[in-house]
Structure 1
Amino acid sequence: MKKKSISLAIIIILILGAGWPLLAQSASPPDEKLLQEAKLLIFDKNWTEAEKKLDDLLTGYPQSNYYSQALFYRGKCLAEQKGREREALKSFEAFLQRTDRPQSLVEEAEISMIDLAFSLYNGGQKEYGEVLVEKLSSPSKVIRYYAAMKMSYLRDKNLGAKALPVLKKLIQTEPDQELVDRAKIALLRISPEALRDIPEKTGKEEFRLVKIRVYEKGKKTASISINLPLALADLAIQAIPEEEKARIREKGYDLDRIISDLAKSKEKLVRIEEDGNIIEIWIE
């Protein structure tokens, strides 16, 4: 009899234990349930269905503790749907204006706004250039740097030039050499002359460097001075406009091949002269 009582007790415990998660789930507040369902749909990249869940939360539960998160995830859903970039940007803006926004999502929201504004601006909607410029003044250096790097890819180099102060300051103050190198490449994309007057950092280099010096006609001091890790040299070449590279090839110089040959050989220097201007390239 005692064994039967113990067995019955164990069965009851197991039944209750198995049923408890279901009871807990059914007891979840409806707004929380909507958010969790939306997250699962986002994980499956079912953007439209996730958006519906989030809209239900936003319209049905305006006082919800999950309202801010719903705005953020709605922005993510909209950003993935072609033609709805402006709506996505507004959703991220609304999220960032909330005082109860989770700090863990703020940086991602700002980066998403930069990407969206970049796409809209390059697509001809020039009013979104203001969003990019605004991010250059962000209190977060991560956001400032990201905005400046992104703007270096703009087809409108006049707007891209607004990123130059951020990039120059990065080069002068940032201890991360890889980040500095990428900022130099960003400067090259906007305007090669932007590297002028930026003092070189002193110190022992850890990697082989491609060094490029440009001397204007009649001048002994380099007007452009670039030091890049050899591994990033191809990015520097990519930063040169195609028409300029084609013009250089017409003169008998292939920049891609020059870098490749220098890396393989013991040559100290490649010197290119044109109309009195001199370009020197070597690897150390």
Structure 2
Amino acid sequence: MAFSFLQAYAQAPSDKELLQEAKILIFDKKWEQAQQKLDDLLVRYSDSPLYSQALFYKGKCLSEQEGEERKAIEVYKQYKGRKDADKNLIQESEIKIIDLSFDLYEQGRTSYIDEIEQSLRSRDKAVRYYAAIKLSKVSDKSTARKGLPVLKDILEREKDTELRDLAKLAVLRIDPDALENIQDHEYETRPRMLCIRIYDRGEEEASFSLNIPWALADLALSSIPEEDKQKMRDEGYDLDDIMKELTKIKGNILEIKGEDSLIKIWIE
């Protein structure tokens, strides 16, 4: 019996194989099956260097399953607390916590509004901005007003027209009169640009570089070399999801790390 157990364990997939299988399932939006792979990795390989990454993807899987919002929030929090957590994935985790908390609040679990309020104090300004704009949609205006100082910062400090327009709409939702007391600067605007850089491992100069107006984003994505698109798919990244994440808050830099290359995508 002991031999059978050892034989079965020896035949078990490695941590790398489990994560790769999970990413493929995530790309296909098979959330429950992907979560099973990730849970297997987290149980079998608690000391794996891939543990934190698996934890993040588990949060993603849970967030896509109806009724699992609270579990997803807890998993994202666990990921944020990991010493080896990636800064970009920490930001994505914080934004997902805001979205999930808002959904729970809308379902009547009003205590989850505290999660959004805490995000107003995030060190990451993109998270603060997103939290304030999201909070403006809360029906309780006394709660929504807590985001006004952050919205004021956007209007007084940021130059991006789209971000400023979102902040103005948020203020109007909360209190139209408050907009009169906020110093609103006008800035010269230029078209939003989608920027893509691909770096070969160990190189500082990009092997692929492209800046293109956001209106032509589809063209930009189609110009990414096919082998790099495949790397993105292998890592579980869906191009539609990437665009959604990038447009939430301008300035986000999405990094996709492969064994041989690094892909950076952002809007400026």
TM-score bin, normalised by smaller chain: 0.5 to 0.7
Match of 2:158 in 1: 174
Match of 2:130 in 1: 146
CA distance in structure 2 between the partners assigned to 1:61 and 1:89 by the alignment: 22
Match of 1:119 in 2: 103
Match of 1:58 in 2: 42
SS in structure 2 of the partner of residue 147 of structure 1: helix
With over 3 angstroms needed to count, the CA separation of the structure-2 counterparts of 1:143 and 1:204, relative to structure 1, is closer
With over 3 angstroms needed to count, the CA separation of the structure-2 counterparts of 1:104 and 1:182, relative to structure 1, is closer
In 1, are the aligned partners of 2:41 and 2:54 still within 8 Å (CA)? yes
Match of 1:129 in 2: 113
CA distance in structure 1 between the partners assigned to 2:189 and 2:112 by the alignment: 40
With over 3 angstroms needed to count, the CA separation of the structure-2 counterparts of 1:203 and 1:68, relative to structure 1, is closer
Q: Which residue, out of 88, 91, 98, partners 2:72? A: 88
With over 3 angstroms needed to count, the CA separation of the structure-2 counterparts of 1:63 and 1:204, relative to structure 1, is closer
TM-score by length of 1: 0.60
- Report deviation, 1:156: 2.1
What are the within-5 Å matches in structure 2 for residues 235-246 of structure 1? none
SS in structure 2 of the partner of residue 41 of structure 1: helix
In 2, are the aligned partners of 1:136 and 1:148 still within 8 Å (CA)? yes
- Report deviation, 1:104: 3.0
Deviation sequence 1:3-43 (CA, Å, 0-9, x none): xxxxxxxxxxxxxxxxxxxxxxxx99711111111000001
One-letter code aligned to 1:144: R
SS in structure 1 of the partner of residue 104 of structure 2: helix
SS in structure 2 of the partner of residue 128 of structure 1: helix
One-letter code aligned to 1:70: A
Match of 2:223 in 1: none
SS in structure 2 of the partner of residue 154 of structure 1: coil
Runs of 4+ in structure 1 off by over 2 angstroms are 199-206
- Report deviation, 1:127: 1.6
Q: Which is bigger in relative contact order (C-alpha 8 A, separation at least 6)?
A: 2
With over 3 angstroms needed to count, the CA separation of the structure-2 counterparts of 1:192 and 1:57, relative to structure 1, is same
Q: Which runs of 5+ in 2 are unaligned?
A: 1-10, 191-268
With over 3 angstroms needed to count, the CA separation of the structure-2 counterparts of 1:65 and 1:200, relative to structure 1, is closer
TM-score by length of 2: 0.64
Match of 1:76 in 2: 60
CA distance in structure 2 between the partners assigned to 1:39 and 1:204 by the alignment: 42
CA distance in structure 1 between the partners assigned to 2:23 and 2:187 by the alignment: 49
With over 3 angstroms needed to count, the CA separation of the structure-2 counterparts of 1:199 and 1:102, relative to structure 1, is closer
CA distance in structure 1 between the partners assigned to 2:37 and 2:59 by the alignment: 13
Deviation sequence 1:117-143 (CA, Å, 0-9, x none): 111112111221111011111111111
CA distance in structure 1 between the partners assigned to 2:161 and 2:187 by the alignment: 11
With over 3 angstroms needed to count, the CA separation of the structure-2 counterparts of 1:56 and 1:173, relative to structure 1, is same
With over 3 angstroms needed to count, the CA separation of the structure-2 counterparts of 1:63 and 1:172, relative to structure 1, is same
In 2, are the aligned partners of 1:122 and 1:155 still within 8 Å (CA)? no
One-letter code aligned to 2:159: P
Deviation sequence 1:179-228 (CA, Å, 0-9, x none): 1122011100111122122234256789xxxxxxxxxxxxxxxxxxxxxx
Match of 2:15 in 1: 31
CA distance in structure 2 between the partners assigned to 1:202 and 1:184 by the alignment: 13
CA distance in structure 1 between the partners assigned to 2:186 and 2:40 by the alignment: 58
Deviation sequence 1:146-200 (CA, Å, 0-9, x none): 1111111112222111101100111011122221122011100111122122234
SS in structure 1 of the partner of residue 159 of structure 2: coil
One-letter code aligned to 2:19: L
In 1, are the aligned partners of 2:160 and 2:189 still within 8 Å (CA)? no
What are the within-5 Å matches in structure 2 for residues 1-284 of structure 1? 30-201=14-185
Match of 2:216 in 1: none
